[in-house]
Amino acid sequence: MIAAGTAAPARSKGRIALYVLQVVLGLFMAVASGAPKLFGEATAVQTFDAIGAGDWFRYVIGALEVAGGIGLMIPVLAGLAAACLVALMIGAALFQVFVIGMAEYVYTPIILGVLFALIAWVRRHEIAALFRR
């Protein structure tokens, strides 16, 4: 038999784990993924040159990744940021396969997209509340 009051600590641990996931992914997106694109890191420049998109596209993607990463770390925006990052990861996966032609690297945006979708799903009520404001 489950003792009274055990559901609240489990729920609290789940919320903490979700927030830790959001912070880790947020830092990754802002610092490791978006910032190199914005600051012209050589590999990022080469990748975007290879697809023929130019600097403007690299800056847009970098800005979206940094904004999404920051949004993940702000509780009221986390769900919406995660949902937007799902869309970005779908685009990244499609680019990996069809434009760059390197299907072996498609796993990273797919895994990130699934994690962002999980965050967006858990925070779906907060997303709806944000749009009702």
More confident residue, 6 or 126: 126
Kindly report the pTM of this predicted structure: 0.88
pLDDT tens column, 49-78: 888 888 999 999 999 999 999 999 999 999
Give the closest residue to 82 by CA, choosing from 2, 9, 4, 25. 25
Summarize pLDDT for 33-56 with one digit per residue, the tens. 999 999 999 999 988 888 888 899
- How far CA 10 is from CA of 2, 23, 33, 67, 78, in Å, comes to 12, 20, 33, 31, 21
Q: How many CB atoms lie within 10 A of CB 45?
A: 15
Rg (CA), the chain: 17
Torsions phi, psi for 104 (to 5 deg): -70, -15
The domain limits of the chain are: 16-132
